[in-house]
Structure 1
Amino acid sequence: MQKNEKIYVAGHRGLVGSAILRRLRADGYENLVTRTSAELDLREQQAVRDFFAEQKPDYVILAAAKVGGILANDTYPAEFIYDNLMMEANVVDASHRHGVKKLLALGSTCIYPRMAPQPLKEEYLLSGPLESTNEWYAVAKITGIKLCQAYRRQYGSDFIAAMPTNLYGPGDNFDLEKSHVLPALIRKFHEARQKGEPTVTLWGTGKPLREFLHVDDLADAVLFLLREYSGEEIVNIGVGKDISIAELAAIVKEVVGFEGEIRYDPSKPDGTPRKLVDVTKINGLGWSAKIGLREGIESTYQWFLDQVDKQQIRGLS
């Protein structure tokens, strides 16, 4: 990618998109195009076609998606499948119609079968039933992968798809009702320290294993793949190693400075025992994650504190 070429980042205000923008700017890319959802509804085909006809981007990074947890997926299945399908179909097709040089679509490891062997290899896609709690989102993201593959096969379009593992970092969601485990732990321990509480109780046993990739590492991988990879096969992006929730909680507790006791409530669900991606492929291409977990948690907590100071996180002062 030349520094003066136009790059459109769809979903630039989210955790992923904002990190990609930061990285592009840090690398000297200045011809960047963004639109908020209010400015451009990616579900509207004609609006997307008009935008591409006007802007004529050279590169497209598709990080826009409707996302949410188990409750949201269960409550709004129609929106999760429809909104994501329409966004992907419109952006991929418009990219083809208007001669985009390269498109990278970001998916999620929820595309893999519920009972797939660990670690998750790219070839496990469509080898078994999906996890029922997020199948609406997963089906839409799988369709996005297949769109990229279909346009590559029929038209020779250089469209690629990458599947990141669990992400965290600046810009994360710290709402306890909607956040993922790592930002939820940061907020719980922070609030407990602020209130002087003697204990923090966490759901489950603490035994499940999870992998965590800093969003700035993901942004680094995205640029690497745009520069170095062209193929129909999907590519996992991850660290290649996991950690138990109990070990993770101990690190967060120490970083935040909470001095009380951690307790577990085994009556609450643990979720999937393990979720780790196989990163043999991307490592073989020459990329690997660089940000250590403790280092990443420290920087994320500092960002969280900065947002608290700016009163950008609800319910905290």
Structure 2
Amino acid sequence: MDVTYTNEPLDRTARTYVAGHRGLVGSAILRRLEADGFTDLVTRTSSELDLRDRDAVRRFFAETKPRSVFLAAAKVGGIMANDTYPVDFLSENLRIQVNVMDAALEQGVERVLFLGSSCIYPKFAEQPIREDSLMTGHLEPTNDAYAVAKIAGIMQVQSVRKQYGLPWISAMPTNLYGPGDNFSRTGSHVLPALIRRFDEAARDGASSVTNWGTGSPRREFLHVDDMADACLYLMDHYDGPQQVNVGTGEDITIKKLSELVARIVGYEGELEWDTSKPDGTPRKLLDVSTLRDAGWSPKISLEQGITDTVAWYRENVDDLRE
């Protein structure tokens, strides 16, 4: 792999734009940067700046002139949402990425971190999935439109590096969870969906809970605060064209995950499985050796992370979208 490790950290006094600061990842990145002493952070809500609006994005960059950008803005969702609205996931993510990166290039932004997703890799990629597995096989059909958009983002970063020599980079996180996650009934990913389902079942005294699929697929989960820490670490220390996997290097079956969530929330009923529903990719574990070799590893265990997320969910449940 063509990799360069650098010792030129971001300037903590330079203007830094966090795109998507209200989302799961963006809000964690903002917290991390604030904690690390960044003094000129720029954010905009979607009502203040629609990143799908090319002219508005160009004006914003011309006015603010950030020196670095964390591109965490995206349209995201679970299996059902991705499978039902592929046009939305493809079109909106392409527009967000192209608009932000084109405007950043136009203003000569020195450093950009583009955030993708592990769904960019082939459905049946060899496990654990290495960065060079990209585009070597067919994608998971339930979220291939979203994956193609993210692959295009990686290519745009690589193209900017090749044509203009700017040290822009890409990071591909595994499944993320934590404070600020989407717990909605129709748009959430597996872990927040399980937390909501089991917490409601525990409060309602339900005798059983039915989950989708067989419970056999294996998934890797990373706390979003660890992800934010990795993003800053990469911006400070990494310079290379290839996307970098960010994860724990460990996975768990959905069945075992369900049992763990049930125990943490205090649900004592039966767990049942609707095998007529899709499982999705059988296994998706990232090879994180590139990031580990660069000197970074996660700090938050899955049990501790879920415990903290359950506490956050219960404190904020009345304000969360349905």
Superposition TM-score, scaled by structure 1 size: 0.95
Q: Which residue of 1 aligns with 2:56?
A: 47
Q: Which residue of 2 aligns with 1:18?
A: 27
Are 1:79 and 2:88 an aligned pair? Answer: yes
1:200/1:262 contact within 8 Å kept: yes
Q: Deviations over 1:216-242 (max 9, x none)?
A: 000000000000001101100000010
2:80/2:186 contact within 8 Å kept: no
Secondary structure at the aligned position of 1:91 is classed as helix
Are 1:257 and 2:266 an aligned pair? Answer: yes
Q: Distance in 1 between matches of 2:35 and 2:199?
A: 31
Secondary structure at the aligned position of 2:129 is classed as coil
Q: Which residue of 1 aligns with 2:278?
A: 269
Q: Distance in 2 between matches of 1:234 and 1:21?
A: 22
Report the Cα offset of residue 314 of structure 1: 5.1
**Counterpart residue identity of residue 86, structure 2:** P
Instruction: Give the counterpart of 2:39 among 1, 7, 30.
Output: 30
Q: Deviations over 1:137-194 (max 9, x none)?
A: 1111111101110111111011100100000000111112221111111111111111
Are 1:141 and 2:153 an aligned pair? Answer: no
Q: Which residue of 2 aligns with 1:313?
A: 320
Q: Distance in 1 between matches of 2:244 and 2:20?
A: 20
Q: Deviations over 1:63-87 (max 9, x none)?
A: 0111223343344333322221121
Between stretches 124-133 and 218-227, larger displacement belongs to 124-133
Are 1:155 and 2:140 an aligned pair? Answer: no
1:105/1:162 contact within 8 Å kept: yes
1:96/1:157 contact within 8 Å kept: no
Instruction: Give the counterpart of 1:164 among 162, 173, 176.
Output: 173
**Counterpart residue identity of residue 191, structure 1:** E
Q: Distance in 2 between matches of 1:97 and 1:265?
A: 51
**Counterpart residue identity of residue 46, structure 2:** S
Q: Which residue of 1 aligns with 2:6?
A: none
Report the Cα offset of residue 286 of structure 1: 0.5
1:122/1:234 contact within 8 Å kept: yes
Q: Distance in 1 between matches of 2:116 and 2:287?
A: 15
Instruction: Give the counterpart of 1:105 among 114, 136, 140.
Output: 114
Q: Distance in 1 between matches of 2:179 and 2:132?
A: 31
Report the Cα offset of residue 251 of structure 1: 1.3
Q: Which residue of 2 aligns with 1:298?
A: 307
Q: Which residue of 1 aligns with 2:243?
A: 234
**Counterpart residue identity of residue 111, structure 1:** I
Percent sequence identity is 59
1:113/1:128 contact within 8 Å kept: yes
**Counterpart residue identity of residue 320, structure 2:** I
What pairs up with 1:80-229 in 2 under 5 angstroms? 80-229=89-238
Secondary structure at the aligned position of 1:263 is classed as strand
1:106/1:161 contact within 8 Å kept: yes
* Count of residue pairs brought into register by the alignment: 313
Secondary structure at the aligned position of 1:87 is classed as helix
Q: 1:238 to 1:101 in 2, by over 3 A?
A: same
**Counterpart residue identity of residue 26, structure 2:** G
Secondary structure at the aligned position of 1:290 is classed as coil
**How well do the aligned residues superpose, as a CA RMSD in angstroms?**
1.4
**Counterpart residue identity of residue 206, structure 2:** E
Q: Distance in 2 between matches of 1:218 and 1:17?
A: 10
Superposition TM-score, scaled by structure 2 size: 0.93
